[in-house]
A and B are shown apart, each in its own frame.
Chain A
């Protein structure tokens, strides 16, 4: 379990870096577009399309990190009523349900990307769309794995926490 958690935090660190660089490039590219459009009547044609895909990536990496830190929006009225082992079982069960749904979504997204690759969808000129969309299945898969890890961590958690 310790090794898994260690690998998990390494992945999280890489994700942090990707996230920061994506957000920074997003801010610069968006600002550049604004300046070009308003003062020079110009604009990078593929800029907006690229920005939209960066948003997609930021969203999925952020969601995956939120899974690691248990920061997804949820309601905890009933969970407060329980303590000790019932709470652990509930936590495990909920995380497994979440992992199952994420896994299912990852599978659906995988077939979506395969379809897009087969149909050779493009986002601009001759640039294929599917490499940009790979974040959808991989994001969901990562979330699924992380839900399982948090479920196991909840089970291993010491009393009183």
Chain B
């Protein structure tokens, strides 16, 4: 009964906007207390997890992601994928999918994709007469695509906490990741064909090699 009440209180607190780390810590502290273990054991566990050698990947990838986002990489990535896929029906949607997946993978899925690419691709999609619903949905969905490709941080974290081999997790993620990109591309092409839009001329873009170093 006590556990039920505490659980309900914690869930209510969480839904009313208490930072989630507070809720999780509270659960840990309560559980350790109930088991009669000193609360400093929570910190011992925290210290053990926080000083794992793999964790350094997280700040470094986040840093890399912000560097990429601030240095016009999204723009160039979009240009490259437009040159590659712009000619297809629904090409822009595929451009969005591919650049989001690549960018997410490069930045270790640290969550900068939507900030970096969303603001760039959304206006272009609206301009080329994709509906608002479709553009928003596609961009938010593709922001998570690279999650399954190495070196994604969520997978590293999951492997750390659940003690599963991170290498195997990455190998396991490749096929589902490709499948998701392929399915979403097929859907986008279909959607484009059914909506009766025409391929805009601006969609076909020649890739300028100077972009590589500029």
Contacts and interface: CB of A to CB of B under 8 A. Distances in A.
Interface stretch (B18-26, B139-147, B149-157): B18-26
Interface string B13-31: 1111111111001100100
B112 to A, nearest CB: 15
A136 interface: yes
B60 A136 contact: no
Contact of A109 (B13, B15, B18, B40): B40
Interface stretch (A3-11, A23-31, A38-46): A23-31
A52 B185 CA distance: 41
Contact of B19 (A58, A90, A98, A105): A98
B43 A78 contact: no
A98 B22 contact: yes
B5 interface: no
Contact of B40 (A78, A90, A115): A115
A3 to B, nearest CB: 26
Contact of B17 (A23, A48, A76, A109): A76
A26 to B, nearest CB: 7
B172 interface: no
B95 to A, nearest CB: 31
A94 B18 contact: yes
A21 to B, nearest CB: 13
Interface in B70-127: none
Interface string B33-60: 0000011101110110011110110111
A123 to B, nearest CB: 9
B117 to A, nearest CB: 21
Interface string A101-113: 1101101110110
13 contacts: A26-B60, A30-B56, A56-B47, A72-B21, A74-B14, A77-B15, A78-B16, A90-B17, A97-B22, A104-B39, A105-B43, A107-B39, A108-B39
The 4 closest A-B pairs by CB, nearest first: A72-B19, A108-B39, A112-B43, A112-B40
Given A63-B21, A67-B19, A108-B43, 11 more contacts: A48-B53, A53-B51, A72-B21, A74-B19, A75-B15, A75-B17, A90-B17, A97-B13, A101-B22, A115-B40, A136-B43
